[in-house]
Chains A and B, each alone.
Chain A
Amino acid sequence: QVQLEQSGAEVKKPGASVKVSCKASGYSFTSYDLNWVRQAPGQGLEWMGWMNPYSGNTGYAEQFQGRVTFTSDNAITTAYMELNNLRSDDTAMYYCAVRGWYMVRGVNYYFDNWGQGTLVTVSA
């Protein structure tokens, strides 16, 4: 089954960088875009952007442009999200997520799976 396993919680100081990993299994890693979403404490979900592991193409939400980078190591089916110049309002749970269609014996199925989340705390 589709699984996304994220790296552990991080505590960073303002101005530092953080790199979160997302290890994928149970599906063809390079066949589906991977999205990153974050959720500040007590707040709603915020879409950060997407990455296609096959092509390396990425798209970032405007509020993160210039500060975030999505990469992947296809050999180990792992995606990464790096956020630079951290601020206190970057304190949040960060999720990777994948969705798409697959076919089994002629029947199409939709999947939409999320990692367990990585808590990033930014504090002086």
Chain B
Amino acid sequence: DIQLTQSPSSLSASVGDRVTITCRASQTINTYLNWYQQKAGKPPKLLIYAASNLQSGVPSRFSGSGSGTDFTLTISSLQPEDFGTYHCRQSYSLPYSFGQGTKLDIK
């Protein structure tokens, strides 16, 4: 089974900051990686699919990169509405799996 490890587990940043979250897979997953944002009491919302493709309607300050085992989600200029928990998910092989999540607070 493929394990995904996100770092950091939590972070606090200021409006306007550049924020980077990483997701490392225990074996290669090509680019079969999605990034989600989740707010309290809500289902996850897709931000990035196939590692680097911005989902329609998602602000362009969000971007994704990586392939193989190492992936990055970047928020170029943090906005107040970007607080929440961010999850990565691999769909390269069954069983699919998620990272443990990164909780982002706004300072």
16 A-B pairs whose Cβ atoms sit less than 8 Å apart in the complex: A44-B99, A45-B98, A45-B101, A46-B98, A47-B95, A47-B97, A50-B94, A59-B95, A99-B46, A110-B50, A110-B55, A112-B34, A112-B55, A115-B43, A116-B43, A117-B43
Q: Is A112's CB under 8 angstroms from B46's CB?
A: yes
Count B-side interface residues using an 8 Å CB cutoff: 22
Answer whether residue B76 sits at the interface, using C-beta atoms and an 8 A cutoff.
no
B-to-A contact residues, CB < 8 Å? 1, 34, 42-46, 49-50, 53, 55-56, 87, 89, 94-101
Answer whether residue A73 sits at the interface, using C-beta atoms and an 8 A cutoff.
no
Chain A positions within 8 Å of B34 at CB level: 112
How would you classify the secondary structure of chain B's contact residues: helix, strand, loop or mixed?
loop
A-to-B contact residues, CB < 8 Å? 35, 37, 44-47, 49-50, 59, 61-62, 95, 97, 99, 109-110, 112, 114-117
Q: Is A110's CB under 8 angstroms from B95's CB?
A: no
- CB nearest to A114 among chain B residues: B43
Min distance, Cβ A57 to any Cβ of chain B, angstroms:
12
Chain A positions within 8 Å of B99 at CB level: 44
Q: Is A59's CB under 8 angstroms from B49's CB?
A: no
Given the complex of chains A and B, what is the CA–CA distance between A82 and B1 in angstroms?
A: 24
